[in-house]
Amino acid sequence: MLNIYCPFCAESRSEEEFHYHGQAHIVRPADPDACSDEAWGNYLYFRANPRGLHTEMWVHAAGCRKYFNVVRDTVTYEIHRSYRIDDPQASAL
């Protein structure tokens, strides 16, 4: 079981209070109408599945109900940090 730190509540809580919402830092194409079908399909359906550090989006469903990002090692499940989506210093790995 993971203990996840919610940057909005400023406390670590049990994984059961959170829901995973996929890979973080997915950038929507600037002009979807000009995208090829392949580029649009890649945006909608394809995500990285790395072995090692991965940036994920989570929501504190049983708490503040806010979304935030978590940097987690997919091999060891160790959480390296969590941060607000609107954090100006936040960046992808």
Whether residue 78 is contained in a domain is answered as yes
Give the domain CATH number at 30.
3.30.2270.10
Please, is 72 exposed, middle or buried when counting C-beta atoms within 10 Å of its C-beta (0-12, 13-18, 19+)?
Answer: buried
pTM of the model: 0.86
Domain assignment present for residue 74? The answer is yes
In tens, the pLDDT along 22-62 reads 999 999 999 999 999 999 999 999 999 999 999 999 999 99
pLDDT band per the 50, 70, 90 thresholds, residue 90:
low
Query: In Å, how far are 11, 12, 32, 79, 91 from 66, measured between CA atoms?
Result: 14, 14, 27, 18, 18
Is residue 72 domain-resident? yes
